[in-house]
């Protein structure tokens, strides 16, 4: 039925559909570390897509100066960061493995030898929402 298709596409696909465990990357990483092959596949697919998309931007822009990891996975998942950076090594990305283990704070990941600066910059989503709301309200009053 259309409702079943909608449910599958919107609630049971993506990372949940691939991993068979969860949409939450923390749960997927736990399952992958425990040997769950579907969760391992989900992690590999996520990294592959990230490398592919960033690589296409590198080509379109003619190089890469800075790479920033942010938000949930970018801020907190050292496994994803190292996998993505290893996949971008051809472009001059090199990260310090120890610095990469730091979570939930601003940190420079790139080594001195890296041609590309690599950072983790935490987001402040609540502040962003408040600022954007204030801007909309200001425009509405004008």
pTM of the model: 0.84
Q: What distances in angstroms separate CA 23 from CA 7, 58, 82, one per listed residue? A: 14, 29, 21
Q: What is the pLDDT of residue 77?
A: 95
Map out the domains of the chain with their CATH numbers: 1-63 (no CATH), 65-142 (3.30.420.40)
* Rounded mean pLDDT for each run of 10 residues along the chain, 142 residues in total: 84 89 94 97 98 98 97 93 98 98 93 98 88 91 82
Question: How does DSSP assign 62-111, residue by residue?
Answer: TS-SEEEE-HHHHHH-HHHHHHHHHHTGGGT--B-TTGGG--SS-EE-B-
């Amino acid at each position: 039925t259309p409702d079943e298709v909608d449910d599958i596409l919107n609630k049971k696909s993506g990372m949940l559909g691939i991993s068979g465990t969860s949409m939450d990357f923390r749960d997927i990483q736990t399952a992958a570390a425990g040997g769950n092959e579907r969760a391992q596949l989900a992690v590999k697919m996520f990294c592959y897509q990230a490398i592919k998309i960033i690589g296409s931007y590198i080509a379109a822009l003619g190089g890469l100066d800075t790479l920033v990891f942010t938000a949930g996975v970018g801020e907190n998942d050292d496994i994803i960061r190292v996998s993505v950076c290893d996949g971008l090594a051809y472009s001059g990305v090199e990260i310090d493995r120890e610095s990469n283990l730091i979570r939930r704070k601003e940190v420079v990941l790139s080594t001195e030898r890296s041609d590309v600066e690599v950072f983790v910059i935490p987001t402040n989503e609540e502040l962003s929402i408040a600022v954007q709301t204030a801007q909309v309200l200001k425009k509405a009053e004008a």
